[in-house]
Every structure is written in structure tokens, then in C-alpha cells.
């Protein structure tokens, strides 16, 4: 039911998911406070490859949600000042992940060579998805939060949430070192910190920290035009010319540390791309993705207490826009979104 007075909603977490939520909630007239333990985008959003890839392998329990993800980013681009998506398309070949989407097409070597002229040995065939792109996830988080602030939201960084104020089985606010911040609703969009916060409200949510390797290189301009995802490398070139790559995490053996992976991936990139000899590792790290045990996002009200709504997911960059839109409709307008049905926290809390 729609309320007459604006709800005060606290969003815990200023990553891409919290920022998208804050923007959509503020757009709907809610009074929003974002409370962040560190700085803006200091979590895994800060080291994301940020490929807007809405394809999926096998049966997809969130097909409706994923199906709206690209359109949501296209809409946000028109609404949020400074938010830029690079719709440069993506090529995939020789990978085992089996991800496909209805709009991907098979293309042959001559077209592949046209799209990525620096590939030394373009494959005979590749999957091409023209409707895919990438964002600078940190810049996008800032842009969404700035747009939320322009609509009246407040952002409190370096303010860890330590607990909750709960009155008669209803969340009434969050506890911080500076005292309690009161709210009608609290949204847990704290990435890998979400499970610990939910546990304080009596909800045991199996959301694990899933490691992946983020790599950044200094690189000559124009090496890669879109995204290349192959058996040898997953790369794209950012607006500032740096080359970004993502790798699976193997283990913590010395040869699999991020710096070692950066050297190995550099060798692969040099052998795949003409003119890449000068690339040099600039930064590498392990990023921890919030991964629900069944791989399906956890989005919705916690059944144990009133006033607590959870938003934790992977792939969070892909889904942030559509989830911000649908979850804000549920929270502010009380309109249940059927596309979120498979995501309810209650599936873990029977
Ligand atoms: C190498 C790599 C490549 C990736 N590639 C892609 C990709 O191509 N596409 C894609 O969609 N996703 C990708 N991801 C995953 C994606 O980055 C994440 O799904 C997404 O950034 C999650 O955003 P978030 O806002 O939920 O979490 P976060 O960015 O971690 O934000 C959560 C925030 O909550 C804060 N917080 C936690 N606890 C508290 C507390 N108690 N009080 C206050 N604040 C708190 C944290 O400080 C943090 O800033 C990749 C990840 C990695 C590591």
C-alpha cells in the first residue's frame, strides 16, 4: 500500500547494488540514507570486470530478471547524469562456460577479424553479442549516488553498521558508532557483509565470498575494441586505455597469486594480440563476490522481522539496474515483482 509520508529507508552498502537501489528509491520519493563502512565502491565493485552480460548457461531461474537487465542499463544511461555504458559488443570462443542468450549470433573469421583486427589468429567461428557492453563500475556507482543525492538522499561513508535497533519484531534503524540512525525500512545491500548483518536479525543466509582475480595493465591504445572472452583470456580495454582482465581464482599457491596470474595472463595477451608486447601489469587482486549458495540472487523481505529487505547477488553489476527498479517498487509502492519470485530469502529460512 502506498504511504502518504515519505518512508525513511536506509541502504547499507555503497557498492553498485546499493547505489542503484538508492537512486531508484529516491526517484520514488523515499527519504534515503546510504550507510557505508568504507568509501564509495570500496567493496568488490571497485575491482569488477563489469561486463554487462545477460546470457546464461542452462535453465535460468531468473530469466525474467536477466532479460530486463540490459534495458535497465539503457534506461539508466538516459536518466543518470555522467553514467556511461560502452555498448561495444562481446566475442566469445573456445570457452567452456556455455553461456548463450537469445540475441547472440555465430559469426565467421572475416567478421571476427573486422571486429577485433588485432587478433593474431582469429578463430573460425565465435559467438557475438552486439547488445553487450561494459561500465566503469566505480564511476557508475558514484554517478548513481550523485543522482540519488540530487533527489535528496544522504550518503554516510566510513560508518560501519554494527547492529540494528529492533522494536516489537520490527527494524527501527541501524546502530553505528555515532548512534542509532532511525528508519522505516533497512535494505541490506552489503555484498559479502550481508550474511553477517542478516544473522544479527536471526536470518541465516548462505551467501559466501567467492573469489575471482581482477587484473589491470598499462597498454597501448586500440588493442581491443570490445570484450574478448576466449580460452586464453577475458579482456577489454577501458576508456582510459588500460586493459582489464578477469581470471578464475585457483588457490593461494604462490604461482596462483594475483601478481603471478597477471604475468601469466600478460603472456597470453601478448601471444593473442598484435602490438601487445608493451603491456605491463599495473594492479592485480582477489575480489570477493557475494555468491548465494544456489547461485540465485537473494532479494526480498526477511520473514523473521518487519522492515528488513535483502539485496545480495552475482552478477551484481549486470543486475543492479533492474534490481534497483523492481526492488524499489516492492519497498516503496508495495508492488510485488514476479521477476523476483525465485530470489526470496525465505527459500533458505524454512
Ligand atoms: C574479477 C571480478 C570480475 C567480475 N566481473 C563481473 C562482471 O563482468 N559482471 C558482473 O555483473 N559482475 C562481475 N563481478 C561481480 C560484481 O563485481 C559484484 O557482483 C558486484 O560488484 C557486487 O556489488 P555489491 O554492491 O553487492 O557489493 P560491494 O561492491 O561489495 O558493496 C557492498 C558494500 O557494503 C559495504 N558494507 C559491508 N558491510 C557493511 C556494514 N556492516 N556496514 C556498512 N557497510 C557495509 C562494503 O564496504 C561495500 O562497499 C566481478 C567480480 C570480480 C571480483
Same domain as 56, residue 148: yes
* CATH number, domain containing residue 325: 3.50.50.60
Decide if 237 is inside a domain. yes
DSSP 42-110: -SGGGG---EE---BSS--TTHHHHHTHHHHHHHHHHHSTT--EE---EEEES-S---B-TT-EEEEHH
Of ligand 1's listed atoms, the one at least distance from the Cα of 160 is 42
- pLDDT of res. 1: 46
Same domain as 272, residue 158: no
Same domain as 330, residue 220: no
- Give me ligand 1 centre to Cα 189, in Å: 9
Same domain as 146, residue 58: yes
Same domain as 266, residue 232: yes
Query: By alpha-carbon position, which residue is closest to atom 12 of ligand 1?
Result: 315
Decide if 336 is inside a domain. yes
Point out the residues of the chain with pLDDT beneath 50. 1
Decide if 3 is inside a domain. no
- pLDDT of res. 4: 62
Number of domains in the chain: 2
Same domain as 214, residue 279: yes
Decide if 284 is inside a domain. yes
Same domain as 141, residue 95: no
- pLDDT of res. 3: 53
- Give me ligand 1 centre to Cα 13, in Å: 9
Same domain as 223, residue 181: no
pTM (two decimals): 0.97
CB-ligand 1 contact for 164 (6 Å cutoff): no
List CB contacts of 4: < 8 A, sequence separation 6 or more: none
Residues of 253-264 as b/e, b for ≥16 C-beta within 10 angstroms? eeebebeebbee
Same domain as 191, residue 265: no
Same domain as 248, residue 146: no
Percent helix, strand and coil across the chain, each to the nearest 5: 30, 30, 40
Domain containing residue 260:
90-130+209-290
- Give me ligand 1 centre to Cα 272, in Å: 30
* CATH number, domain containing residue 220: 3.30.9.10
Same domain as 144, residue 182: yes
- C-alpha dist (Å) from residue 90 to 2, 72, 212, 235, 311: 42, 19, 20, 10, 28
Amino acid at each position: 500500500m502506498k504511504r502518504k509520508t515519505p518512508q525513511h529507508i536506509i541502504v547499507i552498502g555503497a557498492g553498485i547494488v546499493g547505489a542503484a537501489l538508492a537512486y531508484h528509491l529516491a526517484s520514488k520519493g523515499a527519504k534515503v540514507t546510504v550507510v557505508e563502512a568504507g568509501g564509495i565502491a570500496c567493496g568488490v565493485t571497485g575491482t569488477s570486470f563489469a561486463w554487462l552480460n545477460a546470457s546464461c548457461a542452462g535453465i535460468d531461474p531468473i530469466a525474467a530478471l536477466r532479460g530486463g537487465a540490459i534495458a535497465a542499463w539503457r534506461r539508466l544511461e538516459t536518466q543518470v547524469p555522467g553514467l556511461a555504458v560502452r555498448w561495444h559488443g562481446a566475442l566469445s570462443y573456445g570457452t567452456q562456460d556455455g553461456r548463450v542468450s537469445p540475441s547472440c549470433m555465430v559469426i565467421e573469421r572475416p567478421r571476427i577479424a573486422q571486429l577485433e583486427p588485432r587478433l593474431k589468429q582469429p578463430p573460425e567461428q565465435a559467438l557475438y553479442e552486439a547488445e553487450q557492453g561494459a561500465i566503469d563500475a566505480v564511476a557508475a556507482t558514484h554517478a548513481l549516488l550523485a543522482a540519488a543525492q540530487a533527489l535528496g538522499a544522504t550518503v554516510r561513508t566510513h560508518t560501519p553498521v554494527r547492529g540494528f535497533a529492533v522494536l516489537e519484531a520490527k527494524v527501527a534503524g541501524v546502530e553505528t558508532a555515532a548512534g542509532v540512525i532511525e528508519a522505516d525500512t533497512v535494505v541490506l545491500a552489503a555484498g559479502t557483509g550481508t550474511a553477517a548483518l542478516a544473522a544479527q536479525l536471526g536470518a541465516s543466509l548462505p551467501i559466501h565470498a567467492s573469489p575471482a582475480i581482477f587484473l589491470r595493465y598499462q597498454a597501448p591504445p586500440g588493442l581491443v575494441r570490445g570484450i574478448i572472452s576466449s580460452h586464453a583470456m577475458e579482456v577489454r580495454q577501458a576508456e582510459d586505455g588500460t586493459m582489464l582482465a578477469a581470471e578464475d581464482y585457483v588457490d593461494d599457491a604462490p604461482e596462483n597469486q594475483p601478481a603471478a596470474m597477471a604475468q601469466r595472463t600478460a603472456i597470453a595477451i601478448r601471444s593473442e594480440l598484435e602490438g601487445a608486447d608493451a603491456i605491463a601489469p599495473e594492479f592485480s587482486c582477489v575480489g570477493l563476490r557475494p555468491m548465494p549458495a544456489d547461485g540465485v540472487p537473494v532479494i526480498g523481505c526477511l520473514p523473521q522481522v518487519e522492515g528488513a529487505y535483502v539485496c545480495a547477488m552475482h552478477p551484481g553489476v549486470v543486475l543492479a539496474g533492474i534490481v534497483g527498479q523492481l526492488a524499489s517498487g516492492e519497498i516503496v509502492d508495495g508492488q510485488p515483482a514476479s521477476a523476483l519470485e525465485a530470489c526470496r530469502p525465505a527459500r533458505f529460512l524454512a
